[in-house]
Structure 1
Amino acid sequence: MMTNLFSIFDPTTNIFNLSLNWLSTLLGLMFIPFSFWLIPNRYYIMWNFILNKLHSEFKILIGFKNTNGTTLIFISIFTFILFNNLLGIFPYIFTSTSHLTLSLSISLPLWISFMLYGWINHNEHMFSHLIPQGTPSILMPFMVMIETISNIIRPMTLAVRLTANMIAGHLLLTLLSGTGNMIPTKFVWILIIIQFLLLTLESAVAIIQSYVISILSTLYSSETN
């Protein structure tokens, strides 16, 4: 019996006391289409279309002069988070993106690399971001403090945004499914319809969150150029 509602996110599958749930993070590799088909199938064509659209959008955000392979980083992040979010909707598959361990492991190295690159190569440009244009002189010290704090908490906000959205949907589905044995049988179909609608919403959230994380990471990187 579940003693804690949040225990649905705990790794429980193990062999010889070794947790195997985190291996579900690698299941997304099975869905990446092979590029050596003589005649590309529909799935490969559709995935190529999505990646090309993302590439063109990221290229505009970063800047046309700084796109030599840079967009591949953010496309890889989008793909990784998307597959893990969608796989976590299926029963008995561990949702790794609902843990700060994984989401911080993605956002923190990105933020550190952006900061190091920006402050080493474009320090004047980074200083100019601390004070927005047109700020009165008396407010400049406060604006520097506010911009510095907002810059420092960026990796945490990225991680918490992804984790909180995935946890919220899963908790709602779990809470509603737990009421199935307590309602009359004639009202079960209403619960099934609600669960189906929530599952559809959760699928949309999984796609949107992967897109939001990759777009925000692209915007943060564009500020360092």
Structure 2
Amino acid sequence: MMANLFSTFDPSTNFNLSLNWMSMFLGMIIIPPMFWLIPSRLNFTWIKLISILHNEFKNLIKSNKFNGSTLLFISLFSLILFNNFLGLFPYIFTCTSHINLTLSLSLPLWLTFIMFGWMKNTTHMLAHLVPQGAPSILLPFLVIIETTSNIIRPGTLAIRLTANMIAGHLLVTLLGNSGSSLNLYWLNILIIVQILLLILESAVAIIQSYVFSILATLYSSEIN
């Protein structure tokens, strides 16, 4: 019996151990075999997806000084994507619905970009705080606004992913808990609605992992 609706996101298991966090490593167990077997449709599809992401991230970075950096963002996309998908299965903990995981992904990336930018491209980082063509009287306010927007970036990245994961799972859980009190007619409608919601959540899982990685790429491109 749930104490409240949000208890579905509690990282607790039997034997008083928080082993649910191990779910974030399930993707690493599932993925590798397809690289060791005869190429299949799944393998070709994944390679095609990686190739598309590589070209898109490379165009966003717009620099040849950081060759191979797209691998970092593709790995980030893959990690979030598999964890989002695994969270749709019953009895599997959705670790991307917790702010401590999403912030652990966004904060080190943001700190790395900021430290590298200020150490290597100090003039460029200072110029980025002042939009081109802005009136002189507004410059102090614009610097404060740009600084604030830069500081809250890791928080907005983390909260965006967490909020989208929580919202969909809460809706699915809320509708699922009401099934026991419905008659057969409304139960059939509920099942259809739940299937449609799962399809929507699958799309959200892909979109949110893409948004997270593409925004991280954009933030890295600003320091060049």
TM-score range, shorter chain: over 0.9
- Counterpart contact for 1:33–1:44, Cα < 8 Å: no
List aligned pairs for 1:136-215, cutoff 5 A.
136-215=135-214
Deviation at 1:8, TM superposition (A): 0.1
- Aligned AA for 2:4? N
For 2:63 and 2:108, locate their aligned partners in 1 and report how far apart those are by CA, in whole Å.
24
Gaps of 5+ in 2: none
For 1:53 and 1:64, locate their aligned partners in 2 and report how far apart those are by CA, in whole Å.
18
For 1:72 and 1:196, locate their aligned partners in 2 and report how far apart those are by CA, in whole Å.
34
- Counterpart contact for 1:58–1:71, Cα < 8 Å: yes
Percent identity of paired positions between Structure 1 and Structure 2: 63
For 1:75 and 1:222, locate their aligned partners in 2 and report how far apart those are by CA, in whole Å.
15
Matched residue SS, 1:221: helix
Deviation at 1:96, TM superposition (A): 0.2
Deviation at 1:181, TM superposition (A): 1.7
Matched residue SS, 1:79: helix
Q: 1:45 and 2:44 equivalent?
A: yes
Q: For each residue in 1:70-105, what CA deviation from the matched residue of structure 2 results, as whole angstroms up to 9, or x when unmatched? A: 001000000000000000000000000000010000
Q: Considering only aligned residues, what root-mean-square deviation do their CA atoms show, in Å?
A: 1.1
Matched residue SS, 1:146: helix
For 2:177 and 2:132, locate their aligned partners in 1 and report how far apart those are by CA, in whole Å.
54
Q: 1:7 and 2:7 equivalent?
A: yes
Using structure 1 for the length normalisation, give the TM-score: 0.96
Match of 1:96 in 2: 95
Match of 2:28 in 1: 29
Q: For each residue in 1:169-211, what CA deviation from the matched residue of structure 2 results, as whole angstroms up to 9, or x when unmatched? A: 0000011111112222221111111111111000100000000
Deviation at 1:31, TM superposition (A): 2.7
List aligned pairs for 1:64-83, cutoff 5 A.
64-83=63-82
- Counterpart contact for 1:59–1:67, Cα < 8 Å: no
Matched residue SS, 1:141: helix
Match of 1:124 in 2: 123
Match of 2:107 in 1: 108
- Aligned AA for 1:13? T
Using structure 2 for the length normalisation, give the TM-score: 0.97
- Structure 1 segments, 4+ long, off by >3 Å, are none
Match of 2:215 in 1: 216
Q: 1:62 and 2:72 equivalent?
A: no
- Counterpart contact for 1:25–1:84, Cα < 8 Å: yes
- Counterpart contact for 1:13–1:20, Cα < 8 Å: yes
Matched residue SS, 1:172: helix
- Aligned AA for 2:10? D
Q: Aligned pair count?
A: 223
Deviation at 1:67, TM superposition (A): 4.0
For 1:21 and 1:181, locate their aligned partners in 2 and report how far apart those are by CA, in whole Å.
27
- Counterpart contact for 1:33–1:43, Cα < 8 Å: no
Deviation at 1:4, TM superposition (A): 1.3
Matched residue SS, 2:89: coil
